[in-house]
Structure 1
Amino acid sequence: MADIFEPEVRSYIMSRIRSKDTKPELKVRRYLHARGFRYSLHSKHLPGKPDLVLRKYKTVIFVNGCFWHGHENCPEFRPPKSNKGFWLEKIRRNKARDRENVVRLMESGWNVIIVWGCELRPKRALDTLENLCLKIRKMKRVVTPEPVS
Structure 2
Amino acid sequence: MAAIKGRNTKPELLVRKALHAAGLRYRLHGKDLPGKPDLIFPRYKAVVFVHGCFWHQHDCHLFRWPATRQDFWRAKLSRNVANDQRAEIALLKTGWHVSTVWECALKGRTRPDFTKAMQSLIAWIKADQQTITIRGG
Secondary structure class of the residue paired with 1:56: coil
The answer to whether the aligner puts 1:22 opposite 2:9 as a matched pair is: yes
- Aligned residue among 65, 82, 87 for 1:79: 65
Q: Which structure 2 segments of 5+ residues have no match?
A: 130-137
Corresponding residue for residue 136 of structure 1 = 125
* Residue correspondence of structure 1 range 99-110 to structure 2 within 5 A: 99-110=85-96
Q: Percent identity?
A: 45
Which protein has the larger Cα radius of gyration, Structure 1 or Structure 2? 1
Q: Report the counterpart of residue 40 of structure 2 in structure 1.
A: 53
Counting only pairs closer than 5 Å after superposition, residues 119-130 of structure 1 correspond to structure 2 as: 119-121=105-107, 123-124=111-112, 125-130=114-119
Q: How far has the Cα of 1:139 moved from its partner?
A: 2.8
The letter of the residue matching 1:99 is Q
Q: TM-score, normalised by structure 1?
A: 0.80
State the SS of the aligned residue for 1:113.
strand
Normalized per residue, the structure richer in helix is 1
Matched letter for residue 17 of structure 1:
I
Ranges of 4+ aligned residues in structure 1 off by more than 3 Å: none
**CA RMSD after TM alignment:** 1.3
Displacement after TM superposition at 1:126 (Å): 2.5
Q: Does 1:93 align with 2:79?
A: yes
Structure 1 unmatched runs, 5+ = 1-13, 141-149
